[in-house]
Amino acid sequence: MKRNIIISAVAACIAMVACQKSPDTDMLDNDYLVYTNYDTGTDFNSIGTFHVIDSILIIGNDEKASYWNNNNSLKIVNAYRAGLESAGFTPVTEGEEPDVVLQLSYINTTYYFNTYGSGPWWNYYPGYWNWGGWGWYYPYSFTYSYSTGSIIGELVNTNAPTAQNDKLTVVWNSYICGILNGNNLSLTRTLDAIKQAFVQSPYLNKKQ
Residue 85 main-chain phi, psi, to 5 deg: -65, -40
Q: Determine whether 203 is exposed, middle or buried from the number of CB atoms within 10 Å of its CB (0-12, 13-18, 19+).
A: middle
pLDDT tens digits, 27-76: 333 578 898 999 998 999 999 999 998 889 888 766 677 888 999 999 99
Per-residue pLDDT band at 84 (split at 50, 70, 90): very high
152/122 Cα distance (integer angstroms)? 14
pLDDT tens digits, 9-21: 333 344 433 333 3
Is pTM, for the whole model, over 0.85?
A: no
Per-residue pLDDT band at 112 (split at 50, 70, 90): low
Contact 59, 162 (CB under 8 A): no
